[in-house]
């Protein structure tokens, strides 16, 4: 599933090709994504120029002077830049064709992605308005997590994966960040000190940044006609490493199910 670093990598990959380019047409082969694509986009988008590509959580915001495309890649979605229109494959649901000949193609085999079209502020869209803080926001600090976790009786992994508090920490990043900060995923969120939350914030930011940097190496693919974004493959310390030695203490990595998600940690290094 595309996580925040992959979405950010996608944003950086497509932006140079689509910003300041006028759309000549949009081809929609499948309207039924997680929510139906609004039909108005078919007639309203052509003739408009994309002025920016932003990101909020895992949503990409392609703004024109009057509207915004809000795109989510869902479980299996991807965007590619093609140099010219080529024969679409089975799951290629949407093509946005630009005046300079480039095509932005949206593929989504499982169709959990979505494409909204709005003339209102995208940040006030129903899917976005309740989202929590961005991990790269200056206000995302140890103080922030400390204040928001007081009286919370859930475990800390559940707490940092709650998109109403903080966006961008999926299952892999939650396990890896907690390991880097030495915090057990089983700890009660409300019982963790400000100092330890500061360590956790630093871990989350550096792990996400590293992932984006590593994703950046695949950006060259956007220049190829069949450019498929390669998802990042960074060194993982605990995720998926059940019974392998902890890189710090050599004891076995444990796997437990927390909040219905596989969770990996070192019981000796994480307390």
Any contact of residue 212 with Zn ion (CB under 5 A)?
A: no
For Zn ion, the closer of residues 70 and 269 by Cβ is: 269
Any contact of residue 181 with Zn ion (CB under 5 A)?
A: no
Any contact of residue 266 with Zn ion (CB under 5 A)?
A: yes
Please say whether the beta carbons of 157 and 255 come within 8 A. Answer: no
For Zn ion, the closer of residues 149 and 270 by Cβ is: 270
Q: Which two tokens stand for residue 1?
A: 């599933």
Choosing from 5, 8, 55, 58, the catalytic residue is 58
Residue 264 beta carbon to Zn ion: minimum distance, rounded to whole angstroms: 11
Piece of the chain touching Zn ion by CB under 5 A; list 59-67, 191-199, 204-212, 238-246:
238-246
In the chain, alpha helices (H): 4-18, 40-44, 142-149, 156-160, 171-181, 194-216
Please say whether the beta carbons of 142 and 200 come within 8 A. Answer: yes
Any contact of residue 253 with Zn ion (CB under 5 A)?
A: no
Clarify whether 164 is annotated catalytic: no
Phi–psi pair at 80, nearest 5 degrees = -135, 150
CA dist 49 and 23 (Å) reads 6
Any contact of residue 268 with Zn ion (CB under 5 A)?
A: yes
Choosing from 25, 42, 152, 261, the catalytic residue is 261
CA dist 203 and 174 (Å) reads 10
Any contact of residue 208 with Zn ion (CB under 5 A)?
A: no
Residue 180 beta carbon to Zn ion: minimum distance, rounded to whole angstroms: 12
Piece of the chain touching Zn ion by CB under 5 A; list 49-57, 69-77, 115-123, 240-248:
240-248
Any contact of residue 249 with Zn ion (CB under 5 A)?
A: yes
Name every residue whose Cβ is closer than 8 Å to that of residue 81 and which is 6 or more positions away in sequence: 13, 14, 17, 18, 102, 103, 104, 105, 222, 223, 227
Residue 51 beta carbon to Zn ion: minimum distance, rounded to whole angstroms: 49
For Zn ion, the closer of residues 64 and 237 by Cβ is: 237
For Zn ion, the closer of residues 107 and 241 by Cβ is: 241
Clarify whether 135 is annotated catalytic: no
Positions of E strands within 52-139: 52-56, 59-63, 68-72, 78-82, 92-98, 103-107, 114-118
Q: How many helices (H) and strands (E) does the chain have?
A: 6, 11
**Among 79, 103, 208, 246, which residue interacts with Zn ion (rule: CB under 5 A)?**
246
Residue 85 beta carbon to Zn ion: minimum distance, rounded to whole angstroms: 53
For Zn ion, the closer of residues 94 and 253 by Cβ is: 253
Q: Which two tokens stand for residue 129?
A: 């308005």
Residues that are catalytic: 2-3, 58, 261
Which residues here bind Zn ion, judged by CB under 5 A? 246, 248-249, 266, 268-269
């Amino acid at each position: 599933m595309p996580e925040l670093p992959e979405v950010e990598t996608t944003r950086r990959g497509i932006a140079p090709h689509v910003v300041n380019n006028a759309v000549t047409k949009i081809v929609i082969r499948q309207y039924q994504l997680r929510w139906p694509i609004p039909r108005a986009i078919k007639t309203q988008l052509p003739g408009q120029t994309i002025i920016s590509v932003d990101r909020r959580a895992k949503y990409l915001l392609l703004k024109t002077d009057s509207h915004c495309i809000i795109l989510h890649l869902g479980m299996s979605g991807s965007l590619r830049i093609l140099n010219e229109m080529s024969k679409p494959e089975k799951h290629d649901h949407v093509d946005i064709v630009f005046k300079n000949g480039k095509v932005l193609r949206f593929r989504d085999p499982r169709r959990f992605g979505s494409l909204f079209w709005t003339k209102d502020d995208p940040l006030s869209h129903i899917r976005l308005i309740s989202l929590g803080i961005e991990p790269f926001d200056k206000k995302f600090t140890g103080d922030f997590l400390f204040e928001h976790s007081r009286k919370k009786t859930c475990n800390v992994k559940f707490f940092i994966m709650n998109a109403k508090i903080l966006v961008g920490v999926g299952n892999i990043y939650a396990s890896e960040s907690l390991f880097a900060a030495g915090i057990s995923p089983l700890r009660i969120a409300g019982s963790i000190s400000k100092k330890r939350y500061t360590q956790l914030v630093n871990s989350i930011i550096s792990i996400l940044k590293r992932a984006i940097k590593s994703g950046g190496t695949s950006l060259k693919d956007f220049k190829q006609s069949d450019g498929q974004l390669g998802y990042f493959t960074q060194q993982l310390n605990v995720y998926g490493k059940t019974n392998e030695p902890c890189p710090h203490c050599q004891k076995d990595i444990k796997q437990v199910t927390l909040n219905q998600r596989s969770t990996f940690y070192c019981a000796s290094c994480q307390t």
